[in-house]
Amino acid sequence: MPLAEVLLALELVGTFAFAVSGALLAAKKGFDIVGSLLLASLAGLGGGVIRDLVLGYGPIAFHAPLYLVPVGVAVLAVFLRLIQEDRLRRTLLAFDAVGLSLFCVMGTFIAFQAGLNPVATVLLGVTTAVGGGTLRDIVANEVPQIFNPDGVYAAPAFLGAVATTAALEWGLFNAVIAVVVAGLVFAVRIMALRFGWRVPLAELPRRSRGA
Amino acid sequence: MPLAEVLLALELVGTFAFAVSGALLAAKKGFDIVGSLLLASLAGLGGGVIRDLVLGYGPIAFHAPLYLVPVGVAVLAVFLRLIQEDRLRRTLLAFDAVGLSLFCVMGTFIAFQAGLNPVATVLLGVTTAVGGGTLRDIVANEVPQIFNPDGVYAAPAFLGAVATTAALEWGLFNAVIAVVVAGLVFAVRIMALRFGWRVPLAELPRRSRGA
Amino acid sequence: MPLAEVLLALELVGTFAFAVSGALLAAKKGFDIVGSLLLASLAGLGGGVIRDLVLGYGPIAFHAPLYLVPVGVAVLAVFLRLIQEDRLRRTLLAFDAVGLSLFCVMGTFIAFQAGLNPVATVLLGVTTAVGGGTLRDIVANEVPQIFNPDGVYAAPAFLGAVATTAALEWGLFNAVIAVVVAGLVFAVRIMALRFGWRVPLAELPRRSRGA
């Protein structure tokens, strides 16, 4: 199967997953279906729109209406309760994790294709991965996942972007690698949630230097 | 009267109306006049700036200082209490509705001129219409109007963008059509507020499928 | 010393100062070190990214990884408590003021170089100066400094942008002028905080016109 088709499929699946997370958040907050559509669009397309603005492309969603299909399907699936939040509030986080893992690979790949240097490639990959979810949470007036101390969020996306960049620089990138890296990012994110993994806080605990 | 002048006038009126909504919100929240200027600029220019970034133009406000005039007038009018919030808090919503209806037509028209496909034209029209008000509310830490269950907000803008796109595709668009479509969007928005019209929630009520 | 090097140095110092303000806010809110990195990046690079998007350039941070160095140093300095908030919460505001004063000069200069008219130059200078801090506060769910009634914020940036534009238009701009204007902006901002200077509110006090 050619690379281009696999990557498009991954991007559409990632868009769907993030869009579901947006529609579930809209349902949780009691928004109406138009708010659901907006939040699903922001979550599903926001990361890619930021990426494309940074690269100076017109946003993909406006030129390729295909990307609106997974958003519409996601909103409908949540509206009909085909997908709904479970009691442990894990459904939203699971879909968000799928989007995060696919978008960190795709964002990194597209940044590489645009000719950015490796540091910028990693940075834009992470931005693409966390951008949509962060916009979703800001607009819905939630504390963005990226700041939530219950489990690491940006760190797995960062590792995925580094792995993808390395594969691209060394000429090893292909559809299998893309799926494997995304799968690992997803696994790290879910295990972090399950086992309560943490990264250090923004500053060392007081007295840690003097004692 | 030539089309171009009517459209520019509508855009300036829409900018003024949204700017008033921003200055009124600043007054309501006890911000100072600089905050009022910022919130009026975000509301009045935000939708157009997003639209122009998406289309890859330089934002109009930076190249055409003319657009700053309605913003300045709006801030001054609110500062001098020539326009102020009434007890039912309807003044802000009325000015917001004027901006919404004019910007959905103008945003759609400019997207069409840029050569976007019809789906993208509608999408960008709605984004232009709701963008400025949403930025205004996010920055002022309010729940954006678009999520407010008290009356439909994006739906009339969506209908207006569809009607404008249809008129453009069929070669029927002119200054009269622009004003009529904007007037209908305004009427739907105001009637939705007055009569408490609702759109369905983001998910069906529980048990609705099984019962 | 040539102008270009001085300006680059000022921009890097401004980036560092804003990045420290972001990392201090992350520490205050109990975010982890990844959140600190994000908030420092938004504060340090956000104003410049908005500026570059408006000017149609690719964002500088993605093409010139050099700009990531002051961000990383700032996050590390806060993590190791080499810089920490004092009891009067003045450290964050002081670093924010350094960023504000340097970025209003640099943003104005870069807008002038891009060939904008004087009004747009001032506008983009102020946007660059207040953009990063405003993004930082919105994402961290704080009321942006720009709306905080405790001291003027955008006003000194506005004066600095006007002074820089005047110097540029009259052919008088050089490295010394840049430093002097930035120093004055910083002094006004700090004195406004110290002495509780205010600008008028968004609307006149009730009855002020009739009495």
Please answer yes or no on whether B35 and C117 come within 8 Å at the CB atom: no
Residue B209 lies in a domain: no
Residue A203 lies in a domain: no
Q: Enumerate residues 56 to 75 of chain B having a beta carbon within 8 A of any beta carbon in chain C.
A: 56, 58-59, 61-63, 65, 68, 75
Residue A207 lies in a domain: no
Residue B125 lies in a domain: yes
Alpha helices in C29-117 (DSSP H): 33-54, 60-63, 68-79, 90-113
Please answer yes or no on whether B149 and A32 come within 8 Å at the CB atom: yes
Please answer yes or no on whether A54 and C62 come within 8 Å at the CB atom: yes
The Cα of B53 is separated from the nearest Cα of chain A by a number of Å equal to 8
Q: Give the model's pLDDT for residue A210.
A: 47
Contacts of B147 in chain A (CB under 8 A): 26, 29, 31, 35, 38, 140
Q: Per mean pLDDT, which range of A60-64, A129-133, B78-82 is the poorest?
A: A60-64
Token readout for C181 is 């204007």
Residue C188 lies in a domain: yes
Segment B66-86 mean pLDDT: 90
Q: Which pLDDT band holds residue B151 (cuts at 50, 70, 90)? A: low
Residue A120 lies in a domain: yes
Segment C115-119 mean pLDDT: 87
Contacts of B26 in chain C (CB under 8 A): 147, 202
Domains: count for chain C = 1
Q: Give the model's pLDDT for residue A59.
A: 61
Please answer yes or no on whether B62 and C116 come within 8 Å at the CB atom: yes
- Mean pLDDT computed over every residue of chain C: 86
Please check the confidence at residue B210 and state whether its pLDDT lies above 60: no
Give the Cα separation of C81 and A91 in Å (integer). 38
Q: Per mean pLDDT, which range of A13-17, A194-198, B190-194 is the poorest?
A: A194-198
Segment B24-38 mean pLDDT: 88
Q: Please choose, from the candidates B159, B154, C65, the residue with its C-alpha nearest in 3D space to the C-alpha of residue A120.
A: C65
Please check the confidence at residue A112 and state whether its pLDDT lies above 50: yes
C144 shares contact with chain A (CB less than 8 Å)? no
Among A182-186, C41-45, C114-118, top mean pLDDT goes to A182-186
Its domain, for residue C180, covers 3-195
Token readout for B30 is 């006890």
Please check the confidence at residue C136 and state whether its pLDDT lies above 60: yes
CB A99 within 8 A of CB A40: no
Please check the confidence at residue C211 and state whether its pLDDT lies above 50: no
- Mean pLDDT computed over every residue of chain A: 86
CB pairs B-C closer than 8 Å: 90
Residue C204 lies in a domain: no
Q: Give the model's pLDDT for residue C61.
A: 57
Residue B201 lies in a domain: no
Positive or negative, the Cα torsion across C124, C130, C131, C132? positive
Testing the interface with C: which of B24, B25, B28, B31 to mutate, by most C Cβ within 10 A? Answer: B31
Cα distances from C150 to residues A53, A154, C93, C144, C190, in angstroms, run 35, 34, 11, 12, 11
